[in-house]
């Protein structure tokens, strides 16, 4: 039986960063990746020092290339469907039936955005419908923008987007469910509120997205900002008994300490799966921290025996 030091599940920003650290520490590592990173539809990764605007695929390709000198790291495609303890550490199995064993695990599996069922929205996710102004705001600055949001806290999200354009409409897709104080705040900062139901999204003039309302009227926007609820991309944390929590409504995060240790000894988590500060460079950084701590734990075991 081949016993890896660390089995990394998920091979995007967090997992690849951890693999680099552990490869340089000469650890035997297996990284299994299902290749469905969250930002796949985005044309460019922003706010990543020295890589601003690089496509998500190119960023991962460079990371793979830079792993090649570290021959103790094996990167393989595969979706892990089961994970649990065994007498030497952990055992995981993949959808195609392979089983692997490791002394420790790193979950770098990310989250999934749960998009609303508005026809035409999913096809525009990551290009014309986006969630993060820090990632996408610059490209649509000073253009007509919309935020699609309702419920308590709607004004906070809308007023954040207001930093990128004065021409901003809040779309509630039906009657507003936030209170009068939020409404007054929005009106006071020149954010229009449109409470009509939306029937679908289409291509608009030039590169804009067209909102078609249920009453037949249409409006074009350079982008629609929408922050959907999320869920864990895999249920492996729960299978392993790791605590999962919701630091704010609509989130689902593996509980970790500052070093990425989950509530289960020997299991670490990094990246979007374990933080609400979800940025590619943060995922890479938390991957590095978790990998360093894993190496430290393994070293302590090595010298104790």
Ligand X SMILES: Cc1cc2nc3c(=O)[nH]c(=O)nc-3n(C[C@H](O)[C@H](O)[C@H](O)COP(=O)(O)OP(=O)(O)OC[C@H]3O[C@@H](n4cnc5c(N)ncnc54)[C@H](O)[C@@H]3O)c2cc1C
Under DSSP, the state recorded for 16 is: H
**Which residues 82-111 are close enough to bind ligand X by CB under 6 A?**
108-110
* Contact (Cβ atoms closer than 8 angstroms) between residue 253 and residue 273: yes
Interface with ligand X includes 158 (CB under 6 A)? Answer: no
| CA atoms of 143 and 86, how far apart (whole Å) | 56
Q: Which of 14, 63, 170, 253 binds ligand X (CB under 6 A)?
A: 14
Would you give the binding string for ligand X spanning residues 31-50, x where CB under 6 A is met?
Answer: -xxxxxxxx-xx--xxxx--
Burial class (CB in 10 A: 0-12, 13-18, 19+), 49: exposed
The nearer residue to ligand X, 10 or 120, going by C-beta atoms, is: 10
- Closest approach, Cβ 100 to ligand X, in A, equals 11
Q: Does 23 bind ligand X (CB under 6 A)?
A: no
- Given the rule CB under 6 A, which of 9-17, 144-152, 165-173, 186-194 is the region that contacts ligand X? 9-17
- In the list 6, 8, 12, 171, the residue contacting ligand X (rule: CB under 6 A) is 12
Asked if residue 264 binds ligand X (CB under 6 A), the reply is no
Residue 252 is a binding residue for ligand X (CB under 6 A):
no
Strand intervals (E) in 108-173:
111-113, 129-130, 145-148, 168-171
Q: Please, are residues 237 and 107 in contact by the beta-carbon 8 Å criterion?
A: yes
Q: Does 114 bind ligand X (CB under 6 A)?
A: no
Residues lying near ligand X in the complex (CB under 6 A) are found at 9-15, 32-39, 41-42, 45-48, 79-80, 108-110, 113, 126, 132, 135, 233-234, 236, 271-273, 278-281, 283
């Amino acid at each position: 039986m081949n016993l890896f030091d660390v089995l990394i599940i998920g091979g995007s920003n967090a997992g690849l960063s951890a693999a680099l650290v552990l490869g340089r520490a000469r650890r035997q590592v297996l990284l299994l990746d299902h290749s469905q990173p969250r930002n796949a539809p985005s044309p460019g990764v922003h706010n990543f020092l020295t890589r601003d605007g690089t496509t998500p695929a190119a960023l991962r390709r460079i990371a793979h290339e830079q792993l090649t000198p570290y021959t103790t790291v094996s990167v393989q495609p595969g979706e892990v469907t089961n994970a649990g303890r065994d007498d030497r550490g952990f055992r995981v199995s993949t959808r195609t039936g392979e089983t692997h064993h490791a002394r420790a695990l790193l979950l770098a599996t990310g989250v999934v955005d749960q998009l609303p069922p508005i026809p035409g929205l999913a096809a525009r996710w990551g290009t014309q419908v986006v969630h993060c102004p820090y990632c996408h705001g610059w490209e649509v600055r000073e253009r007509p923008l919309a935020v699609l949001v309702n419920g308590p806290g709607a004004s906070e999200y809308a007023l954040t987007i207001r930093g990128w354009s004065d021409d901003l409409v809040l779309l509630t897709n039906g009657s507003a469910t936030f209170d009068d104080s939020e409404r007054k705040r929005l009106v006071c900062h020149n954010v229009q509120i449109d409470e009509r139901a939306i029937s679908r999204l289409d291509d608009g003039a030039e590169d804009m997205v067209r909102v078609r309302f249920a009453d037949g009227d249409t409006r074009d926007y350079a982008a629609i900002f929408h922050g959907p609820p999320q869920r864990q991309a895999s249920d492996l944390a729960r299978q392993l008994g790791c605590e999962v929590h919701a630091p704010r409504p609509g989130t689902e995060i593996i509980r970790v300490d500052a070093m990425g240790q989950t509530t289960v000894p020997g299991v670490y988590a990094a990246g979007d799966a374990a933080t609400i500060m979800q940025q590619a460079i943060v995922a890479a950084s938390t991957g590095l921290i978790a990998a360093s701590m894993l190496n430290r734990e393994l070293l302590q075991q090595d010298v104790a025996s």
